[in-house]
Structure 1
C-alpha cells in the first residue's frame, strides 16, 4: 500500500492479530470515556454527554481531568463543529470517589454519524511518574444513515474502525487500525475495557457493575505489522480500546508522555 509502519518505542516486535493476552497492568485501566445512554437513535434526540477519566469496568476511581480538553468537537456529515465552549465542569461520582469531569448537552437532530472527539490535557499519573493523554473518539448514529464512521479524522493518534462502531453484534468481532499521524502502527499495545458501571448522565453518577472483572487483569491485544487488531465481542454494551503510547509526542513538562489513541464502540444483542 506504500505506507510505512511505525513501531512504538519500547514495545517488543511481537506482532499478533486478534489474540487477547492478560497484561501486568492493574485491573480497571485508565480510560477517557465519552458517554451518552444511546449510541443508535431512531429520531431526533436530546441528551447530555459526559466526559470523564476513570476506571469504567468496576465503576471505580475517577481521576480529576485537571482542566477542560484542549479540543472537543463533533464530526457530522463531513463537517467538524467545535463543542468546547459548551462544556460544563461537573463532579462525577463513582462507587469509589468523586472526581472532576465535564458534560455537554447534545442534540442528534439530522440523520447520519456523529463522531465526538476529545483531546484532553495531559494527566499526571503520580504512581508511574508519567503523563497520559488519551485522544478519544466515540461514535453515535441517528436514523441508520452511515456517513462518517470509516474516515480518519487526522488526529495525532487514532484508531480507525474497519466495521461500523455503533452496531456490532454480540458474538461478532470488531477490527480497528492503529494510526499515528495517519500512518499504521505495528506492535501497538492495546488495552480493552468494558463499561460495566454505566453512567447516569442526569445525575453524573455510575451505576453498579453488571459484570465481574476479567481474570488475570486488563485484556490486552497487539496490533499486527500493518496496525490491525481484532477483538471478539462477548457481551452487549460499550467497549473501549486504547492503543498506548502511539502518538508522536513523547514528553510533557520534562516527563514521559504516553499519548494514547482511544475508541469507544457499542455492541448489541440480536433480538
Structure 2
C-alpha cells in the first residue's frame, strides 16, 4: 500500500499542470460590413478542448474605442458549457474602427497549484475592416500591446507583442501559447499542447502561427502573495492575454 501511495504521489508531482486560458472569443475578428458580433467568455484549456472551469461573473467586461472605455457588464448572459459556468454577450458594431474587448475575471483558486489565477484577456474586432485603432491599450494591470495588427492575419504570419505590467515593459516575461483546437489536431505528446516562449530584454516576443484559427498568448507574471481558502500562504498568477485569429489564404473563414 505504501508503495502504491508513493507512486501515486510521484505521478501527481511529476504530471504537468496544463495551461489555463481565459478565452474572450468573438464570432469574427473583422466585420467588413459592420453588424453584430457574439463574444464568448470561457475559462478552459484550448488545445485540449477542455476541461472547462467554472467562471464566476467577471469583475468587469468592457470595450475600448476611439470614444473611450465602455462597460459592457450589463450585457453579459450566462452560457454554460459542459455544466460549467461561462458567459456570452452580443455587441452591435455600427462604426468603423477597432473595438478592443476585454475582461477582468474574478480570481480563480487552483488548489493543484496552490495559487489564484487572474487572467486579464482582450481581443480586437475591426469594424468595417478599417485597420484603425488596433493598438489602443485598455490600461489593465498586466497587458500585451500588439506590435502587429491583430486582425486580418494570414496563417503563418509572425505575431509580435510587448508585455506590460503597470504600463512598463516586462523583460524576459514567459508567454504560453495555445491554439483553440477544433478537433482536427491531436498533439503527438504533452510537449506540443502549450508552446512556451520568452520575451527579450525589452519585453517583446514573437511567434509564427502555423495553423488557421484562434491563438491565445498568455504572458504570466507573479502577482502579490495571497491567502488560500484555508488561510495558508498562496501565490497569485497574473496573466496578460491577447487573442488573434489567422486565416488560410484562399479561405473566406
> In structure 2, what is the Cα distance between the partners aligned to 1:241 and 1:82?
24
> In structure 2, what is the Cα distance between the partners aligned to 1:30 and 1:108?
30
TM-score (norm 2): 0.85
Deviation at 1:25, TM superposition (A): 4.6
TM-score (norm 1): 0.80
**Which of 208, 211, 220 is residue 185 of structure 2 equivalent to?**
211
Note the alpha carbon deviations across 1:112-152, whole angstroms, 9 max, x for none: 11111001000000111110000001111121113321132
**Segments ≥4 residues shifted beyond 3 Å:** 24-27
Does residue 260 (structure 1) correspond to residue 249 (structure 2)? The answer is no
Unaligned runs of 5+ in 1: 1-23, 198-208
Name 1:14's counterpart in structure 2. none
* Structure showing greater relative contact order (alpha-carbon pairs closer than 8 Å, 6 or more residues apart): 1
> In structure 1, what is the Cα distance between the partners aligned to 2:188 and 2:202?
28
Would you say how many aligned residue pairs link Structure 1 and Structure 2? 229
**Which of 198, 218, 221 is residue 222 of structure 1 equivalent to?**
198
Of 146-155 and 49-58, the range deviating more from structure 2? 146-155
> In structure 2, what is the Cα distance between the partners aligned to 1:78 and 1:223?
32
Deviation at 1:37, TM superposition (A): 2.0
**Which of 25, 49, 53 is residue 39 of structure 2 equivalent to?**
49
Unaligned runs of 5+ in 2: 1-14, 228-232
**Which of 212, 217, 225 is residue 241 of structure 1 equivalent to?**
217
CA RMSD of aligned residues (A): 1.7
More helix by share: 2
Note the alpha carbon deviations across 1:16-69, whole angstroms, 9 max, x for none: xxxxxxxx8545x2100011221111112224211110011131100001x211
Asked if structure 1 preserves the Cα contact closer than 8 Å seen for 2:164 and 2:203, the reply is yes
